[in-house]
Amino acid sequence: MRIALRRTIRLALALTALGFSAGSLVSKAVSQEAGWITLFDGKSLDGWDQVGESNWRVEDGAIVVDKMAGKEAGYLVSKKPFKNFIVRVEFWPSDDANSGIYFRCLDSKKITDRTCYEANIFDQRQDPSYGTGAITRYVEVNPMPKAGGKWNTYEVTANGRDITVVLNGQMTAKLRNGMFDEGPIVLQHGAGGIKFRKIEVKPL
């Protein structure tokens, strides 16, 4: 009887310890994601304004775009501006895609690489020094990584004058510049096809 009781107590203590351990892991996972804001819920384009006439839509949990009505690029512009932040975006471009992640844009209606910073997505850019992985007009990339035909992750950090671009875990561009200090986050469609998913930002 005493042996059975001891076994029961030991089992209860083991289960309790296991429960605390699991709870600790869950709490840690939640705390690691604390502060992140989801900009795309996988269902709609709520929270974004469209500039230009590209055919933005949602398919299978991703933002998809592959056509323009004219020669002008199309953009999805976040309704909220951000100043200091980390933004993470997963994207799948066609080999001929011309796209990018713009941020701190001065004018939410006029998006250019002269009025925003841009983490470029452009494998076939004529001058590859400012192609995929570069900050257009500011920081060249050499050698230029290729992103076409696969899922990639951009993580862009803008904190004061310090800006870094990380593509698939590798830093591709680093800039110290105070030209633009606040503005929306923008997705570009300039050519080819591209998909975006898991778009989230963490204010700093």
Instruction: Please write the tens of the pLDDT for every residue from 186-198.
Output: 999 999 999 999 9
DSSP 145: P
**Cα–Cα distance, 9 to 110 (Å, whole number):** 69
**Cα–Cα distance, 200 to 35 (Å, whole number):** 10
Q: Is 144 within 8 Å of 124 (Cβ atoms)?
A: no
Q: What is the pLDDT of residues 113-159, one digit of tens each?
A: 999 999 999 999 999 999 999 999 999 999 999 999 999 999 999 99
pTM of the model: 0.83
Could you tell me whether strands 37-38 and 152-159 are parallel, antiparallel, or unpaired per DSSP bridges?
A: unpaired
Distance of CA 84 to the CA centre of its chain: 15
- Provide the strand spans (E) within the chain: 37-38, 48-51, 57-59, 62-65, 74-82, 85-93, 98-103, 117-121, 152-159, 162-167, 170-176, 183-191, 194-203
105 and 147 co-located in one domain? yes
Find where tokens 């009887």 sit.
1
Please say whether the dihedral angle defined by the alpha carbons of residues 79, 92, 123 and 200, taken in this order, is positive or negative. Answer: positive
Range of the domain at 22: 1-34
152 and 120 co-located in one domain? yes
50 and 28 co-located in one domain? no
Q: What is the pLDDT of residues 13-25, one digit of tens each?
A: 554 444 544 444 4
What's the structural domain count of the chain?
2
194 and 155 co-located in one domain? yes
**What CATH number should be reported for the domain holding residue 76?**
2.60.120.560
